[in-house]
Amino acid sequence: AAESSTGTWTTVWTDGLTSLDRYKGRCYHIEPVAGEDNQWICYVAYPLDLFEEGSVTNMFTSIVGNVFGFKALRALRLEDLRIPPAYTKTFQGPPHGIQVERDKLNKYGRPLLGCTIKPKLGLSAKNYGRACYECLRGGLDFTKDDENVNSQPFMRWRDRFVFCAEAIYKAQAETGEIKGHYLNATAGTCEEMIKRAVFARDLGVPIVSP
């Protein structure tokens, strides 16, 4: 708790320049692991002020960062992490979960069925779109791009987006169901990612994965 918040091995004069009691992490409960002589479960709480709002990176760096290299510990494992709603509300990701996806697809009462297009690399955009269509027409609720699919010479992102959108609309018209495809909008810059996401939106494809 101390290592990942305000603690130091030696008392230093700068300790007096802040409120250590307010900002320190606290181990508020320790219990032994059943059947083990030298293993313990520790419950640690941190003040929210230690974390930048909306920064998953800062939160995980603080909680599971250099403390895992702490020489005083022979082994350490994170078993559970509970994030207060007040903090999760600062994240700027999609403000919805599986329920909204079900609403968009109009699919209820059963698992959603989807797949990643294979081979993930090497197909032309037209053949990639054809594979999407065959999957959606065959009964899948959605298909998705693999994380490696960006904008390679054999399949540029704009062509992929267009053919995937065509596959969705064709499958929807023939099945009478709402279909989806997770378009990978990953790019070299944030500006380019936004450009691709906007293009997908303009095509009417509602699902984009960064």
Could you read off the pLDDT tens digit of each residue along the chain, which spans 210 residues?
A: 666 666 666 777 777 777 777 778 888 999 999 998 889 999 999 988 888 998 888 888 888 877 777 777 778 888 999 999 999 889 887 767 888 889 988 999 999 999 999 998 999 999 999 999 999 999 999 999 999 999 999 999 999 999 999 999 999 999 999 999 999 999 999 999 999 999 999 998 867 775
- Number of Cβ within 10 Å of residue 151's Cβ equals 17
d(CA 63, CA 37): 26
Three-class SS state of 64: coil
Tell me the CATH architecture of domain 13-88.
2-Layer Sandwich (3.30)
- According to the model, what pLDDT value does residue 5 have? 67
Q: Where are the alpha helices (DSSP H) in 113-189?
A: 125-137, 157-175
Compute the distance between CA of residue 210 and CA of residue 109 in angstroms, rounded to an integer.
28
**Cβ-based neighbour number of residue 158 at 10 Å:** 14
Q: Does domain 98-209 have CATH number 3.20.20.110?
A: yes
CA separation for the pair 15, 166 (Å, rounded): 62
Continuous H helices in the chain: 20-23, 56-63, 85-88, 98-105, 125-137, 157-175, 190-203
Beta bridge partners, 202, equal none
Domain ranges of the chain: 13-88, 98-209
